[in-house]
A and B are shown apart, each in its own frame.
Chain A
């Protein structure tokens, strides 16, 4: 046996059979096979290269040397020879009070009294508001790795007071901080929460409706002209550009259903906005967007359930609903969940319809319910990449990594769920 299953084994040719009407063509057939094998392998390699380039490109911006200048040298904040790092909380609060405006200090106190804040938190505030480290220049990962010495010389020459350090733009603070106008302080917490909210609403809305529609079309609907038109057009809907869904969502959810989607009908509206550009509108729009995808996948999954199972069920005196509920759905569930997984990915990465719906480009308040203003990760990334300052490119790259990781973890949990269902069945 040959180790490589694709490689035709080098057989010895049996004595040539001279059969009339047959031309010996085995070598040619193997050659054709080999030709296509090369083509397919090439296609795979192109895909792998494209993916690797993308990842390297993102990593290139997300990590690298930065030159940091502090507004106030932390050494001057030392009290009686005790370094800033080691000062007790009371001292840190005092430093903060002395160095920031009264208004800001009062606002911070109002947000959460200093007595209740931890030392680490106050220390973070001192660094952020008093020391105020500023990135004056940043370098790509490639430069940082291969031109380290030149960068050091450049910093020593151009920014004598700056410190050079290797920075991962993707760090704890980046994930936990809200949006900020300063790239050093900006984070994606608001965007992550916004993405989770909108995608959850989209799936909660589209999954039951989509699966219900698929069950109706596959198990109940008669095979007549009307239903054939519906089936064909659901397939077409899956190919409609997402911006069209954005316009649809704007017309229906943001404008026509504004009392509902803004929450005024229930008295739950966010008083600062009170318009229809809310998480709910965005979630429903994304739900409409993924609905055809869920229906099509569920239809395929239901079609794949062997008809022998349905016949067995009917033969025992089961009603159609019992057959669907006890046999068709459990057996189609893995396929249906595959559709849901694809839909989550699609909804998570969608930008254009949310721009039309009116996602906030700058928002630093966490969403607190379906009626809040919102932003999502792709919107945030898009907005950062369109800023003129280079430094926003770095946090955009870090944002992309967060988006990909979030997507992977959501998909992984859906895959685990699916595998548990399919294992239970056999």
Chain B
């Protein structure tokens, strides 16, 4: 599923276990350095949580994985992100194709003001899906654990659903374009605890097929749902976001290597 076949000079450093790798990543907004020198490997078909205090660059980091930062005119990225042995920031890589392979779910549920069916079908259609659309929509909604609730009202507006249902609709919409990796930017922060729980269960089910990277502010959520956790914080010197520690969630939460990580996850700061 190579996104392009450029004559890349990079040696395929990608170990088969990693879905995506960031190497020496630096992200600027104008002159401001938001993310500094991050090296991060994301294991395949696992959930990796990015945590850290506000403004530490974790959302920026997440958006770097599918080049969404480029929608901000002043944003600039240095370093490389390897996906299937290809640097997605190479000049000849089309960000539009990257985003199809690496989908995104946003903090606030943002269904299109169209019918539930169209919400799911649209992304697949514009990407050239030629199979049976009805089956595909049904399958995506089932995978997103939404089918039973909406199967009788597929023609109603996506905005008529509750917040939690809307967020699952957004997940179904993302699944429908058959991505490889799903990025989630605080997907449950606008939802009530029950809806949050359903999203978390869904995320676990989705790891059977997808790699998930999730940004969260919620320590318990990170502990509950993720397999790996990356802790970001601010460099005191230049206020840039840096990766402090990355590892298996269990280890990071029970036996962190750095004191600053421990302080954060035990609630002593942040």
Chain A residues close to B by CB (< 8 Å): 222-223, 306, 308-319, 322, 326-327, 331, 425-426
- With A315-B104, A317-B123, A426-B159 known to touch, is A331 a contact of B113 (CB < 8 Å)? yes
Chain B residues close to A by CB (< 8 Å): 66, 68, 71, 73, 96-97, 99-101, 103-106, 108, 110-113, 122-123, 126-127, 157, 159, 170, 173-174, 177
Q: Is the CB of A316 within 8 A of B99?
A: yes
- With A309-B112, A311-B68, A425-B113 known to touch, is A317 a contact of B106 (CB < 8 Å)? no
A316 contacts which of B71, B122, B157 (Cβ < 8 Å)?
B122
B122 vs chain A, min Cβ distance (A):
7
In angstroms, Cα B101 to Cα A310, docked, is: 18
Q: Is the CB of A317 within 8 A of B122?
A: no
Q: Is the CB of B174 within 8 A of A316?
A: yes
A218 vs chain B, min Cβ distance (A):
13
B71 contacts which of A222, A223, A310 (Cβ < 8 Å)?
A310
Q: Is the CB of A316 within 8 A of B106?
A: no
Q: Is the CB of A314 within 8 A of B113?
A: no
In angstroms, Cα B97 to Cα A426, docked, is: 30
Q: Is the CB of B123 within 8 A of A316?
A: yes
Q: Is the CB of A308 within 8 A of B110?
A: yes
- With A222-B73, A317-B123 known to touch, is A312 a contact of B96 (CB < 8 Å)? no
Main secondary structure of the interface of A (DSSP, over half): helix
- With A223-B73, A317-B177 known to touch, is A312 a contact of B110 (CB < 8 Å)? yes
Q: Is the CB of A312 within 8 A of B97?
A: no
B127 contacts which of A223, A315, A317 (Cβ < 8 Å)?
A317
Residues of the A chain whose Cβ atoms lie less than 8 Å from the Cβ of B103: 315-317
Q: Is the CB of B106 within 8 A of A326?
A: no
Q: Is the CB of B170 within 8 A of A308?
A: no
Residues of the A chain whose Cβ atoms lie less than 8 Å from the Cβ of B157: 426
Q: Is the CB of A308 within 8 A of B112?
A: no
Residues of the B chain whose Cβ atoms lie less than 8 Å from the Cβ of A309: 110, 112-113
Can you add 9 more A-B contacts, CB < 8 Å, to A326-B126, A426-B159?
Answer: A309-B112, A310-B71, A311-B104, A314-B71, A315-B106, A317-B99, A317-B126, A318-B126, A425-B113
Residues of the A chain whose Cβ atoms lie less than 8 Å from the Cβ of B71: 310-311, 314
B249 vs chain A, min Cβ distance (A):
26
Q: Is the CB of B159 within 8 A of A316?
A: no
B126 contacts which of A222, A322, A331, A425 (Cβ < 8 Å)?
A322
In angstroms, Cα B113 to Cα A312, docked, is: 12
